[in-house]
Amino acid sequence: MTVKKPLISGRIKVHIINVGECGKCNIALNSFFLRMADKGYKNVSITNDPRECNCLIVLGSLLKIQKNNLIDTWQKIRKPHVIISFGACGTDQQKLFKAEDKEIQNLAFETDDIAEIVPVDYVFPGCPPDEKFIDNVFREIIKLNF
């Protein structure tokens, strides 16, 4: 876990964008957020509006059809912000399938690393990431901000 820049201030408002993942990361992340209150999180919430967020979580391998959506979302989020690449497929070239057929060319992968498109602050490794790791990183983000 490496912090590249100063972090956010105030409440952490998370926006999640799925750019092409199998579903395991989505389940792991939702499971974590469902138990957030039990873990004592008071300054973290989820928002559906990227303009309200200061923490963007990117799930999956970037499909070509999702590149513009990711860039548009990234440009809307508040500054300062934190960007998290969530799961192995966003950085480890662990892909869901290999798209070589011209009929499914839009499903081909744009890049092997989300950080080539948006500036990533944290990488959550694993398929899916371990809940204890997720918890530790969010606690670190909170500690740095409050």
Task: Give the DSSP per-residue string, 47-99.
Answer: -S-GGG-SEEEEES--BGGGHHHHHHHHHHS-SS-EEEEESGGGTS---S---
> What's residue 22's pLDDT?
80
Q: With contact defined as beta carbons under 8 Å apart, do 97 and 91 qualify?
A: no
Domain membership of residue 2 (yes or no) is no
Domain membership of residue 3 (yes or no) is no
Domain membership of residue 67 (yes or no) is yes
> What's residue 8's pLDDT?
60
Domain residue limits at 52: 12-145
Q: For residue 102, give the CATH number of its domain.
A: 3.40.50.12280
Domain membership of residue 96 (yes or no) is yes
What backbone phi and psi angles, to 5 degrees, belong to 86?
A: -105, 115
Q: Considering the entire predicted model, what is its pTM?
A: 0.84
Domain membership of residue 134 (yes or no) is yes
Domain membership of residue 82 (yes or no) is yes
Report the number of distinct structural domains present in the chain.
1
Q: Which tens digit of pLDDT belongs to each residue from 70-123? A: 999 999 998 888 999 998 887 765 555 555 555 555 566 776 688 889 999 999
